[in-house]
A and B are shown apart, each in its own frame.
Chain A
Amino acid sequence: RKEVEQDPGPFNVPEGATVAFNCTYSNSASQSFFWYRQDCRKEPKLLMSVYSSGNEDGRFTAQLNRASQYISLLIRDSKLSDSATYLCVVNRGSTLGRLYFGRGTQLTVWP
């Protein structure tokens, strides 16, 4: 079983729509969780960390459910510029720390 599983999509939504991505992780010892954004053939960039209580950054809301080992990202009022691949990332939390990346969920926002 992969460390991090994501629905690859693609998700195609109109501007202004609300879209949600889900991600599951296999190792219950995982301690840190993130969403990265990656544009085509560019480097990934940190979008937001995910905290146990849930957190919001503008139009983006991240949620963590440790019991179900499940992470989500909600994007409200989608913009054309939100079109990208969203990577779910998990830190297993050992001393050395290792980040595990999901395969990414592709989002296209159309006008």
Chain B
Amino acid sequence: DGGITQSPKYLFRKEGQNVTLSCEQNLNHDAMYWYRQDPGQGLRLIYYSQIVNDFQKGDIAEGYSVSREKKESFPLTVTSAQKNPTAFYLCASSPPGQINEKLFFGSGTQLSVL
């Protein structure tokens, strides 16, 4: 079945540590996105990529980094510069020609700080 796979489901970060969240899709979608969701809040865009080897900052990119070396993969690194990383992270993709029109989401990663 086609879809988006995020891993791990739960992740714990120690102070000063970088952690990487995985996002893989087999939907052949060009565009991929990372969102952050805090309790009781809407999703906020961290980074997005419309094509391999290209990505753009979203509204809250500070303290995060991404890469897009393959169409299927869009990993997100939460760096030590992100001082408040505890949140629910959602990866998404959208079909060709429909950038941002309809998003397909992964099941999310809950990141917590130890």
Whether B100 lies near A44 (C-beta < 8 A) is no
Chain A hits for B113, CB < 8 A: none
Contact A44 B105 (CB under 8 A): yes
Q: Within the assembled complex, what's the spacing in Å between the Cα atoms of A8 and B44?
A: 16
Would you call B90 and A96 a contact (CB within 8 A)?
no
A97–B105 touching, CB < 8 Å: no
Q: Which residue of A lies closest to B35 (CB)?
A: A101
Contact B105–A41 (Cβ < 8 Å) = no
> Could you write out 15 A-B pairs with CB less than 8 Å apart?
A6-B42, A41-B88, A42-B107, A42-B108, A43-B107, A43-B108, A44-B103, A46-B102, A46-B103, A96-B100, A98-B45, A99-B45, A100-B42, A101-B35, A103-B40
Known: A4-B42, A41-B110, A99-B45. 5 other contacts (CB 8 A): A32-B101, A44-B103, A46-B102, A87-B43, A101-B42
Question: B37-74: which residues lie under 8 A (CB-CB) from chain A?
Answer: 40-45, 50, 56
Chain B contact patch, size range: 20 to 34
Residue of chain A at shortest CB distance from B105? A43
B95 interface residue (CB < 8 Å to A): no
Interface size on A, residues (CB 8 A): 22
Pair B100/A43 contact, Cβ less than 8 Å: no
Chain A residues packing against B (C-beta within 8 Å): 4, 6, 8, 32, 34, 41-46, 87, 91, 96-104
Complex Cα distance A34/B43, Å?
14
Q: Indicate if B106 sits at the interface (CB-CB under 8 A).
A: yes
Q: Which residue of B lies closest to A96 (CB)?
A: B99
Contacts of B99 in A (CB 8 A): 96-97
Whole-angstrom distance from the CB of A8 to the nearest CB of chain B?
7
